[in-house]
Amino acid sequence: MIRKLTIKQYLLAVAILAVSAMSAVTVQAAEFKGVVGIGLDFGGDTLATAVYTDGSTTDVKANNGFVINGGGVMIIDSYETQATIGYKFGGPTAKNGSITWDAVPVELIQFLRASNVRIGLGFIYQINPKLVIDIPGTSQTYNFDNALGTIAQIGWAPVNMPFSIDFRYTAITYKQSNASNTEEKNGNVLGIYSSFFF
């Protein structure tokens, strides 16, 4: 026995099919990938200077150093949304001590892909940035407030290859925690990065 559908039932069935179709298209259109990356940034205000026994010196600068990170990328057509968390570290080390800068960067970048080129703008939030001085006669940690900054990035990312090589500019400032000196430190840096997708 074939049961006739009322107009309301028919419209409801059409609506359900339409929503299901839209959901299927959305799921099919979005592609998800993992990403791991490394980078090196240059710049920032000088926070300390290491003096070696031979008289040579090395400056330790805010937000200067190496980065390793990992996260995920959501790809919809020409748009790629990338979110990562990592670890940043820099500064000289020697047998008798070290002066280091480190932080935990969390990044969210929106890319637009044009063939083999990715152009992106985004935000960076650095957690627990600090300068650690551990040399003979001095052992001190200078903590800075968590800081929010911006990122502009452009890179070469071949469509059929699982990597990208990127150049970026990061704009960010730091304020020392619980310090009477309210002067902000400039952490603006230029960097070169490489990411691998899987």
DSSP-assigned states of every residue in 16-55: HHHHHHHHHHHHHHEEEEEEEEEEEEEE--EEEEEE-TTS
Q: What mean pLDDT do residues 77-85 have?
A: 96
Q: Which of 14-18, 22-26, 90-94, 103-107 has the lowest mean pLDDT?
A: 22-26
Taking the C-alpha atoms of residue 22 and residue 6, their distance in angstroms, rounded to an integer, is: 24
CA 151-156-161 angle, 5° bins: 120
- How does pLDDT run across 144-164, given as a tens digit for each residue? 999 999 999 999 999 889 999
Predicted local confidence at residue 88, as pLDDT:
98
Q: Pick 159 or 105 by higher pLDDT.
A: 105
- How does pLDDT run across 19-71, given as a tens digit for each residue? 554 455 455 588 999 999 999 999 999 999 888 878 788 899 999 999 999 99
With beta carbons less than 8 A apart as the criterion, state whether 172 and 148 touch: yes
Asked if residue 13 has pLDDT above 80, the reply is no
Average pLDDT score over the chain: 88
- Name the pTM for this structure: 0.82
